[in-house]
Structure 1
Amino acid sequence: MLRSYLRSLLSGPLAVQLRRYTMVGASTAGVQMLLLWLFVDRGGMNYLVGATIAIEITIVMTYVLNNAWTFAAMQNSGVRAYLTGLLKTNLVRGTAIPIQLGVLYGLVDWLGIQYLLANAVAILLSGVYRYVLDVRWTWGRT
């Protein structure tokens, strides 16, 4: 069972979905990093406040892109389904915010890592969590 699942990550529909999810995630992570930099370096915000705002903005952006492209075969369509999916992804990704902010805080304040690099690490670490919950709950597929 595990072997066939791992094979499906390399080829087949799951592999395509995972690649698309990763591409959307990388794009929106870039936007999140840019927003964080703007909020902190240009706006003078605390890095944790800036990260929280940047995360929420990219949550919406990520949902729009994933719903249209990554999960097109099981897309949330119609106003009710679309808004329900947006609420679900906000809950999924909202529960990942403490993970991401905790990692960010630990890396910056405890280890002295620059906040943008620390944020990139935090995005990667919380990414698997977000993917599993999005696939299983936001788009209702296993």
Structure 2
Amino acid sequence: MGYSSVQDFVDKPTIVRLYRFVLVGSGAALVQTGLLWVLVEFAGLNYLVAATLSIETTILLQYVVNNAWTFQHAQHTSRLQYLVGLVRTNIVRGTAIPLQVGLLYAFVTWGGLMYLLGNGIAIFLSGIYRYYLDSRWTWKIQM
């Protein structure tokens, strides 16, 4: 495979969107993990409650960044589009919360992992689900 073939592959819109989605998600994962740690260690919340609160906080953060950068060609610009997109991404990501928290519980309880490590793995696995549904439904991208 020559350089132009690799470059053509890397420049495909789907690959660019996925790369950006992963970057935004990675940054949000750091924020979410930091918030989780603060809520558990300093606020004394149960790790599952803290995980749910930190997830919702990063849902809002990710929507703003993904709308402006990851899916900029399908960006929601009117107030109505923006609000509908925000509701849709909350539904997508809201349905991912039980998946992520369930995985976190399994990794901690049955896998013996530290909650922060288990949370990172759960974020990655539920991210695949979130990317597919956000792309197809929130921003209506054809794959």
> Which TM bucket (shorter chain)?
over 0.9
Shift of 1:9: 6.2
Amino acid at match of 1:139: W
State the alpha-carbon separation in 2 of the partners of residues 109 and 15 from structure 1: 36
The 3-state SS of whatever aligns with 1:55 is helix
Q: Does 1:88 align with 2:88?
A: yes
1:55 maps to what in 2? 55
Deviates more, 1:12-21 or 1:120-129: 12-21
Between 10-19 and 102-111, report the one with greater CA deviation.
Answer: 10-19
Identity %: 52
CA deviation map 1:19-50 (0-9, x unaligned) = 11110000001000000000001111100000
Provide the C-alpha distance between the structure 2 equivalents of 1:8 and 1:48, rounded to a whole number of angstroms.
43
2:79 is matched with which residue?
79
Q: Show structure 1 runs of 5+ residues with no match.
A: 1-6
TM-score (structure 2 length as normaliser): 0.91
Structure 2 residue runs of 5 or longer lacking an equivalent are 1-6
Q: How many residues align?
A: 136
Mapping of residues 1-142 of structure 1, within 5 Å: 10-142=10-142
Shift in Å at residue 12 of structure 1?
1.3
CA RMSD of aligned residues (A): 1.4
